[in-house]
Amino acid sequence: MDRDAGSAPGTGVLDTVQPVAGLTHASAELLRNPFLRLQAVIKLCSTYFDGVDQRELLSRVGLAGYTTAEGLVDGDVEDEEGATATERATGPATRRTRTSSRLVRDAALASRVKELHDHACQICETRLRYKRRPYSEAAHIRGLGNPHDGPDELPNLLCLCPNHHVLFDGLEIYVDVDGLVRDTHGGASVGRLRRHNSHHIDEAHLEYHRTLCDLNRMTRS
C-alpha cells in the first residue's frame, strides 16, 4: 500500500540513516558546535514559535541556559526538602546540608586580565577599591556552562566592574562589530570597549555573545 507524503518513514529507512534524536548523524555532528546550535535555536524560535512565550519554551525543553551568557552549571542539590513558609522567621538562619558541582576556573587567568587592565572596567573605566585593595571582575564572554561550552582562556575574558559584569552576563549589553558597547533592547551606545595590546579578544566569542543578545531581544519582545 502506498504511503502518504506526510507519513513516518519505515523501519528500513531508519536502520539505514541511523538518526540521532531524529537528526541525521551529519546534522547532529554540526549541532555540536555551540554557535551553530545557537543559530538553530534562533531560527526555530523565529520561524515556528513566534506567538508563544519563548523564554518559557526554552526552559521547558531544557534550553534555559540560553537566557544568560553564563549558561547553566551543575546546580546545588539539597539533601533535604526546602524550607516551608511556616518556619520561624526569627533566630539564627536554618542550616542545611548541600552538595554541589562547580566548573573549575583558572584563577591565574582571572588575575591576569585584571592586572593587564589595572582593575579598570573595559567599558566605563571604573576602578573600585574594596578593603583597601583594587577590585574588578573577570567576565567570560562565552560562558563556560551548558549550552555555551566556552573555553577558560584569556581571549574569552573581559575585565569589568560588577555593574557591567551583571549587565553583560544578563545579555542586557553587547559589543558590536565596531567595538561599541550597546544596549540590547534599544541599541543605544553606552561606551566603547577599551582594548589592550597584550590582551587579544577572540572576535568569535563576541559574535556568539551578540547572537545570544539577539535571542534575548526576541524572547523579551
Read off the pLDDT of residues 135-147 as tens digits, 9 standing for 90 and up: 999 999 999 988 8
Q: Is the pTM of this model over 0.85?
A: no
Let me know how long the chain is. Answer: 221
Average the pLDDT over each of 4-8, 57-61, 105-109, 162-166 and give the range with the smallest value: 4-8
Query: Three-class SS of residue 117?
Result: coil
- Give me the number of domains the chain comprises: 1
Residue listed under C-alpha cell 554541589? 100
Q: Is residue 85 part of a domain?
A: no
Q: Is residue 131 part of a domain?
A: yes
Say how far apart CA 111 and CA 127 lie, in whole Å. Answer: 15
Q: Sign of the C-alpha dihedral, residues 157, 202, 115, 110?
A: positive
Contact 99, 79 (CB under 8 A): yes
How many helices (H) does the chain have, and how many strands (E)?
7, 9
Q: Quick check: 194 pLDDT over 50?
A: yes
Q: Is residue 2 part of a domain?
A: no
Contact 158, 201 (CB under 8 A): yes
Preceding omega of 155 cis (within 30 degrees of 0):
no
Q: Is residue 9 part of a domain?
A: no
Q: Is residue 119 part of a domain?
A: yes
Residue listed under C-alpha cell 582571572? 110
CB neighbourhood size of 175 (10 A): 25
* C-alpha cell at position 18: 541511523
Q: Is residue 6 part of a domain?
A: no
Mean pLDDT in residue range 32-58: 80
Say how far apart CA 120 and CA 173 lie, in whole Å. Answer: 18
Mean pLDDT in residue range 185-207: 96
The DSSP letter of residue 3 is P
What percent of the chain is modeled with pLDDT above 70? 72
Is residue 173 within a helix (H) or strand (E), and if so which, with residue range? strand 173-175
Q: Is residue 5 part of a domain?
A: no
Task: Kindly indicate the confidence band of residue 7, based on its pLDDT and cuts at 50, 70 and 90.
Answer: low
Task: Kindly indicate the confidence band of residue 203, based on its pLDDT and cuts at 50, 70 and 90.
Answer: very high
- For residue 205, the enclosing domain spans 18-76+93-220
Q: Is residue 4 part of a domain?
A: no
